[in-house]
Amino acid sequence: MEMIKKGAEAEIYLSTWMGRRVVIKRRIRKGYRIKELDEKIRKQRTRREAILMAEARKAGVAVPIIYEINNFEMEIVMEYVDGERLKDIIEKLDDNEKRRICQEIGKSIAMLHKNGIIHGDITTSNIILRDGKIHFIDFGLGMKSAENEARGVDLHLLMEAFNAAHADERLFRWVMGGYKKNFEKGNEVERKIEEIVRRGRYMRRVE
């Protein structure tokens, strides 16, 4: 196996499984936790992520196919989405393609949120473009929620990612256009995002 990423919670490997090219996500043991507690936490988080991905796929959102869950190694074996990170290519696209992709992102997030799924880490690094189609990866921080606060935070993170890395305000507007078109509570969530932005500004002033 070839390690392609190491984070605080998990290691990501590129490997093969049953003749397929796959990604293996292995949750790292935390030495500061009691062994039994550590195993319980890692098993729960591994299972939760797999469930969220399965539910996202059922909701019509493109995510990697899960091939196996290994509770002994705390691993998820999943499809390798052979594409490009949106972060790396969005600046190279023409405006029509940028708009199309952003609207598709908004539509996909709407489908997640309508089904009570919060991704938890929506950034342009966690969106893969393959053959013109977007795929969401890394549901490790995801959860189930039907609260507009959670939905707003989910989208606000993407807004911040766009602002930090791409400096094009149209991108998030296009995302929200696709989102509101496909989610009846889109306007409520948009107001929640505006509230989150105001709270952030207030906290910065207080500091």
Active site residues: 121
| Contact residues for 176 (Cβ-Cβ < 8 A; gap 6+) | 106, 155, 186, 190
Give 96's DSSP letter: H
Write phi, then psi, for 151 (nearest 5 degrees).
-65, -45
| 3-state DSSP percent of the chain in helix, strand and coil, to 5 | 50, 20, 30
What are the counts of helices (DSSP H) followed by strands (DSSP E) for the chain? 6, 10
Q: What is the CA radius of gyration of the chain?
A: 18
